Structure 1
Amino acid sequence: MIVDLLPRGGNEATTINPPAGVFHISTHGSDWLWAAFSVIAFSFVLLFGLSFTRPRGKRAFHHIGLVILITASIAYFTMASDLGYAPVPTEFRGDHQTRQIWYTRYIQWFLTLPLVLIELLLTTGFTLSDIMMTVAAAWVLVLAGLIGSVVQSTYKWGYFSFGCVALFSIWYIILWEAPRRPFPQEELRSGYYLCAAYVSFMLITYPICWACSEGANVISPTSEMVWYGILDIITGPFFLFFFLFVNRKAEYQVFDLQSGKYTPHEEPQPVSAKAAEAGQA
């Protein structure tokens, strides 16, 4: 249990799992990660309970949110335990200096960012191919950040540029392309504008944090954890509850998102004798 992992004497995660790298998180950084984990995990439990207030077949948005929150919970549990990282040589800190780079966080983003965008775009008239292109741009953004974070030389900023191009593509889609489409339920258009602006603003804050942490190594890993943790809480639980609130009047039948929906098999029609003979012929 989590209680057993947090001994009565205090948080011993960095003692049980000693950090590697010259620049690594402190015990206070681990404390913050446990706090962030608690917020995200509690949000998962709350959203799980709220999903039962919706009738069956009208929980698609809730279920996507649950996947986002459980993924983030596992990631933050791992990082709070001082696990899921690799020591990587730094660019601006001199020779033989290493920094903790948390690949766990990029795995989390690889899964959760596309789901946030899918949840947002499902309220629009976007086709599946359009949504998949947005998901692909999100994957490029995350992978570029991961690769750039483990590159020691200035070439890391080339990957940062690739990520920025992917970010601009996402902005173009959710701020320009999607609003131009006819919405299946026009009542949701105003809510979409609010949610799209919310996500667009939050997305620009991540590259800024990356540039100051994994990029230029200006801030410490503990400060990085605090910064990213705040962003993940605002973009995760806060956004999901805001999204569900502004789309509380969504009519799921217009999206064809009924969970558990199936198409019954039609009974085979009897074949006439003449048709059977024609088929044999």
Structure 2
Amino acid sequence: MVMLSSSLDHNPPNADRHITPRGSDWLWAVMAIMGLSTLGMVFWQFTRPRGTRFFHNIALIILTTSTICYFVMASDLGATPTRAQFSRGTTGTRQIFFVRYIQWFINFPLILLLLLFATGLSLSDILTTAFFAWVVVVCGLAGALTASSYKWGFFAFGLLALFYIWSTLLGHGPRTTFNAGQGVRSGYVRGSILVALVTALYPIAWGCSEGGNVISPTAEAIWYGILDLILGPIFLYYFLFGLRKVDHSAFGINSGKWSDGAHGGSGSTHGHHNHTGTNMAGTGTTTGTAAPVGARV
């Protein structure tokens, strides 16, 4: 009988408690779904006219990052042994996949940008919310690599940052002006509720795995994998499908090229011209040297 080789045979774990071959198989399956979703997004974005691919490009970055990171984890790479605060029997060290946090460091702010650019929030509010996404991820990684009870201090800081993100998604975001229409607003509300609910499950998973060492690294991989699939292909395709018939110019986003002019390709600006336009925060007229339509501060 021919035995199939596992990634763990080629890259042996260096921690007492680590993923099993079945855990590696699950990670390979998630990687395959992420990879197929990435290819689908590549084809989908090319069906969109140039200048209307902003949301699709962000989704492509998220899916590509997830595909690569899950390849690394399925190969049993990108992990380091860390002494567990709670030994749970004979466990001295636990396998911590730091590459997972690299994935979240890239993807979590981009998911928030994808959502919040559909609202009328200012650019400063959006970037501040994205910053707190980095706080969540960095605190999670620092806590996972900390062997003492100080790890729960990082956990608390991460939770506070999550509360700020939820307040923006569920509080400030829905109350802004949606120039793209009420259909986009209702889609945003559904999407933001989904993101808030799923991100609320990550701290629970962290507390049971890297934090409390209650569940095995294989169970951890399954838990995180399901959550990543929901926030990855499922959420992204659902959100973009809802935007398929929306006039992209209503979002106030253009290419940023000076040669495209203030209206993203519909004209050019020279010297001190008057510009009248609509951004996602409302309507207004700017006279003199004006910022491009849709600019947020």
Work out whether the TM-score is over 0.5.
yes
Letter in structure 2 aligned against 1:19? P
Q: Is the 8 A contact 2:17 2:91 kept in 1?
A: no
Change (3 A) 1:48 1:260: farther
Q: Which has the larger radius of gyration?
A: 1
**2:56 equivalent in structure 1:** 62
Distance 1:202 1:251 in 2: 29
Structure 2 spans left out of the alignment, 5+ residues: 261-267, 272-297
- Distance in 2, Cα, partners of 1:21 & 1:192: 43
Q: 1:223/1:174 Cα in 2 relative to 1: closer, same or farther (>3 Å)?
A: same
Cα displacement string for residues 198-236 of structure 1 (whole angstroms, at most 9, x for unaligned residues): 101100010010000001000000110011001101111
Equivalences, count: 262
Q: Which residue of 2 aligns with 1:224?
A: 220
Identity across matched positions, percent? 48
Please state if 1:78 is matched with 2:67.
no
Measure, in 2, the Cα distance between the counterparts of 1:181 and 1:195. Answer: 16
Aligned: 1:38 with 2:32: yes
Which of these residues, 57, 68, 91, is aligned with residue 85 of structure 2?
A: 91
Query: How far off is 1:53 after superposition?
Result: 1.7
Partner of 1:4: none
Contact 1:145 1:163 survives alignment (8 Å)? yes
Aligned pair partner of 1:147 in 126, 142, 156 = 142
Q: Give the structure 2 partner of residue 14 of structure 1.
A: 8
Q: Which residue of 1 aligns with 2:125?
A: 130
The Cα offsets for residues 84-118 of structure 1, whole Å up to 9 and x where unpaired, read as 01100001106870000010000000000000000
TM-score, normalisation: structure 1: 0.89
SS in 2 for 1:72: helix
- Please give the secondary structure, in 2, of the residue aligned with 1:198: helix
- After superposition, what is the alpha-carbon deviation per residue over 1:13-59, rounded to whole angstroms, capped at 9, x for unaligned? 10111011100011111000000000000000011111122111111
Identify the structure with the greater helix proportion: 1
Q: Is the 8 A contact 1:118 1:135 kept in 2?
A: yes
Query: What does residue 205 of structure 2 align with?
Result: 209
Seen in structure 2, the aligned counterparts of structure 1 residues 43 and 11 have a Cα distance that, compared at 3 Å, is farther
The letter for the 2-side match of 1:37 is: M
Aligned residue for 1:111?
A: 106
Alignment partners' CA distance in 1, 2:202 and 2:5: 28
2 CA distance for matches of 1:157 and 1:109? 20
Where structure 1 has 5 or more consecutive residues not aligned to the other structure, the ranges are 1-7, 269-281
The whole-number CA distance in structure 1 between the counterparts of 2:9 and 2:91 is 23
Aligned partners of 1:254, 1:198: CA distance in 2, in Å?
Answer: 24
**Cα drift, residue 255 of structure 1:** 2.0
Contact kept, 8 Å, 1:140 with 1:166, in 2: the verdict is yes
CA distance in 1, matches of 2:121, 2:5: 47
- Give 2:161's match in structure 1, choosing from 155, 158, 166: 166
1:24 corresponds to 2:18: yes
Q: Which runs of 4+ in 1 moved over 6 A?
A: 265-268
SS in 1 for 2:78: coil
Q: 1:154 is matched by which residue type in structure 2?
A: S
TM, length-normalised to structure 2 = 0.84
Structure 1 CA distance for aligned equivalents of residues 91 and 204 of structure 2: 26
1:11 is displaced (CA, Å) by 4.1
Displacement of 1:140 in angstroms is: 0.6
Report SS of the residue matched to 1:263: helix
| Higher RCO, 1 vs 2 (CA within 8 Å, ≥6 residues apart) | 1
d(CA) in 2 for partners of 1:13, 1:123: 42
For 1:259 and 1:47, locate their aligned partners in 2 and report how far apart those are by CA, in whole Å.
20
